[in-house]
Structure 1
């Protein structure tokens, strides 16, 4: 993978600081230290880069680690819309391209000469001819096999075995075992001239049979199966480069999203993404499950962001801890969204579109509907879906009169692959709002802290209810419905509704002005200007008196 070189473009720095829209690559060119990117650019994490496929559900759990790792390593690519299509068949052309990549030969593709025999093959894109040419050069395809080579046909399992064995330069070893008796019920279905290739793949532990002791040699190999096989191969090759490294965690900062690794090359800090895939014992986990002292494998992208983490050896700490927004609860398990770490900032519900009093979006939750404002670009694609919103409830007046306004900082479509799930049994200690509770009392939208053992069994769950969070907000909100308030004018709207927004050290407040409001220090509401210091008298949520300092 290409690593961007450091630049010193002063003009770019100025543009970044003025516009706050610099992309990650430009920030890295300017040598911005890990953990400081948000402070310099003003762009929240999670909006800079997207990671993860949306179509990997529980039926693909067996291949999930391999898919994430092979994608991070650049062996696989996805499809538009962040989909992987794990059950799609792999074609012959795709199989040889993946084999060349996993062997580390990608950089040689463009330097390979394409002969006339290869040009006769009907390929849909020009670069494909170079891949086929390199596959011939490396021995994956023999020149005499080009005549029958169908690049777009699904590759069968025994055919993939042949490509991989040849890529490993083990053709002679395969030929020695062509008469081997293989231990599968369907061994007779393996073509006689392919038995040796399958033998070598079994011997290397790269391919296996199914739970019924069948190899299914003539079945097309799927993208998920190919990912698992190539991941085994890649790990066995032990290719470590500047974008794939192994080391021990010396520090992990979940606030600034950085991880510091120590290995033979020294100690270095890298930026994380909020949803960097983490695997512990082969299971999808969260950043919070990483411990100082863990030996890990990191995969970096071209901007040196960590896009994959796998714990190779755990530090001697048997207790796992995690916290996050509760997404699902059933009789024996609880699932968390762990990229929401502040209980005051997380909301989960169904996205709906409403045209009551004007077209807008709402989040339907167990505690009612919330009007969404702020960073809502692209929400139209997810109406009807469950989403997770990171944001804050505001005291701002809603013209839609449909519940409180939720100011959106970020939003995520809720996918099963993003959940961290813990098993629960009768010995699990559970509290809700500080009181002993049952698992069934915890609901989606609550916030929970979980301590679990290394078998993934929750030892303790401490939950805070979403209902209590809303009650606390309403309690604080009453302070602005009756009483006095001082601050600086932010804006004034004198349309159908008379609305004013003021700001002070405690926050920003948007309130309705009573039509019979008493004015002191000014003769008309039109004299109110931005930045003006004012005092308000509020009753029933409406301003009944405005006093302007001389």
Structure 2
């Protein structure tokens, strides 16, 4: 009997191994595409940060092709937030309370907000938790996901209901449910962080005066933007969002120009950090603008009253949005496909996206899709990169803007692509034939 128990434990622990060790590379995505460091989100706890995980996984599961959450599962797995076993993800499998806590803590650990090596598991209150999971529950207690008084009723093996998930996620969001005022001072600090990155860049090599002028111009725009924040109110949000969008576009152009001129990789990484922070700033402004959106569900009466404000909060942040029929289904046990979706949204919208980065190569092929195009780019070593191009992608050639439909005319041209973790191209700069 003891041997069987050990085998069961080993099997479960294997399922918690990094996805890169368990799944084959995805043939359609991430063929050599490079990823860089994820930045901390504005809701990070005030504690010493640990190094963020720079490893991003190429994965594929053979049981998610028909899943509504296919995109989110792949995205969460590539971020290392969820794992499978023997090429399977089991999207419809229910998630236990302990499994959920493990996944949430892992997301915080990957973001650098939790260091499991510093977590103590000596508390007697943890005895009811399986030994392998005690460090995760202890970390959740330290972080505030679980309150000490709740641990006595915490059943690690029980299926986690959706209203409980909402509670834990709302606590990670770390905002006072009764105070949704806009913190323009905090936003101003975020802008200062972007300015500091740009002002701290190493000197560019000779012949790159135009790029430096663009950086200096962007710094001035950011400083002017910060001045406007000091006098801003809710009525200014739409204009502020539009300004941030313009600055994001300018920064994309700077990254593309720097990639074209073979600027030092460290400088490109810093520019990517700045672009990520600009993206997060825009999302923060949009979240404030949308905070009064309808956050009700038709089945609110089925939810324990004390959890209702947490459910409304996760909907406002678009982390858990409910079913198409307007139901939240608070008493239903959450499944693995839902958790992958939740973790993907949480890390994108709250912790911040993975850094925006760039690559240079030859435009080799274009394929039409329902949402636009997928382009194939060959780098100097012949490695294939695949990128999604939509109506939102800015395409530049000789300082003129082109449409995605024009790309076929530039097959064989050298291009620079600025893109995100989903291989979505935000800017394409066509260089030469």
Structure with higher strand content: 1
Higher relative contact order (CA 8 A, sep 6+): 2
- State the TM-score, normalizing by the size of structure 1: 0.37
TM-score for the superposition, normalised by structure 2: 0.47
Q: Which has the higher helix share?
A: 2
Q: Which structure's CA Rg is the greater one?
A: 1
